[in-house]
Structure 1
């Protein structure tokens, strides 16, 4: 947990005071130095970052963490997350977004999910983010892979980007759930990823659309 405020760190430690979590709290300067390499950041599987600092400084901190620990997962906690700020954080590779109020109740549940490769982001934010991505059609994600997708695979991929579960996709497309699983498996293979969360993240970070 990284925060410039000792009271916030203490609150987070209290929230996560369970045997299932090994918590390392570190207080950082509210004004981060220009050379982020001088900031000491302990290794962790999941980082919970207090976004009290200016957006630019928070972005620099997140980028620095992922450069040092590429497999790390990040959850960002703030007073509130605007759409624009949420989109920027998702593009940086953040996997979870919580307000301080939400964190008090949801953080213990969000950590295991994010640690396992999932996302803890409100569906409304994901949906609006996908809409903003789909509006920008200037680039394609892995052009060769996309060109080889069938019409149904395009539809399933679009539904995955809306964070729909297999059962919801089956209902939306009026197909069997096992058929959805078949198409998801093909998509993972064609895009060279192992998990649907990685496929979604690939699409988001590419800032393009496969549709």
Structure 2
């Protein structure tokens, strides 16, 4: 999908509250580089809407009728011909869902009371292929839920990663951008991009958000590190 400056970022908004959809739609629609191309009130409508309008970014509530945001995110992430980035909309009382949302294919999450600047930044960041790992609460939430003992699946195997790729993975898990990682490791930013691409390919991951999840699950980093 083309998310260059000459082509607006196509966004759909999924939330069962009319005021949320209208408010976010107005804020995003006022941006010259963002176009709101549709909205829906539940997850089932969301999946059909994504198929129909092929957006770049989906803003989606976690708790909705008929099909919740987690189930919808899983279905959207599996659409072969449509691969939008997904930002889950949440509130503090729904934090239990955040980690599972990232596992389901979301690129990050955003609080519903986010400032206009945070909202537009989030859309631009994930449209560019980055994970939405700011504010730092995202990393702490991931660390908390990965550490829960009731996890029943096995972490990814990191044996195929080189030492440098593991170094880059640690920095991604800290929430650093490619430029910041380049500064930390004293390498070119393009080199970091190459390492990130190789990590994604070797581990079969979709984006940086899933690198973070994998890093915590495999013990490459831990809460507070």
TM-score, normalised relative to structure 1: 0.70
The answer for the alignment partner of 1:40 in structure 2 is 48
Superposition map of 1:9-158 within 5 A: 9-18=21-30, 19-29=32-42, 36=44, 40-41=48-49, 42=52, 43-53=54-64, 57-68=68-79, 70-80=82-92, 82-102=94-114, 104-121=116-133, 122-130=135-143, 132-133=145-146, 139-146=154-161, 149-150=162-163, 153-158=165-170
The answer for the alignment partner of 1:209 in structure 2 is 218
Larger radius of gyration: 1
2:170 is paired with a residue whose SS is: helix
2:109 is paired with a residue whose SS is: strand
Distance in 2 (alpha carbons) for counterparts of 1:55 and 1:133: 28
* Cα 1:51–1:144 shift into 2, 3 Å: closer
Q: Which has the higher helix share?
A: 1
Deviation at 1:135, TM superposition (A): 7.4
Deviation at 1:40, TM superposition (A): 2.9
TM-score, normalised relative to structure 2: 0.67
CA deviation map 1:27-49 (0-9, x unaligned): 325xx6xxx49963232111111
Tell me, which stretches of 5 or more residues in structure 1 are unaligned? none
Query: Are residues 1:161 and 2:173 paired?
Result: yes
CA deviation map 1:80-108 (0-9, x unaligned): 36443211111111113112210544211
Tell me, which stretches of 5 or more residues in structure 2 are unaligned? 1-12, 221-225
Please, what is the CA RMSD of the aligned residues?
Answer: 3.9
Is the 2:76–2:83 Cα contact (8 Å) retained in structure 1? Answer: no
Q: How many residues align?
A: 198
CA deviation map 1:99-146 (0-9, x unaligned): 221054421121111111112232232244146536779845244414
Is the 1:130–1:162 Cα contact (8 Å) retained in structure 2? Answer: no
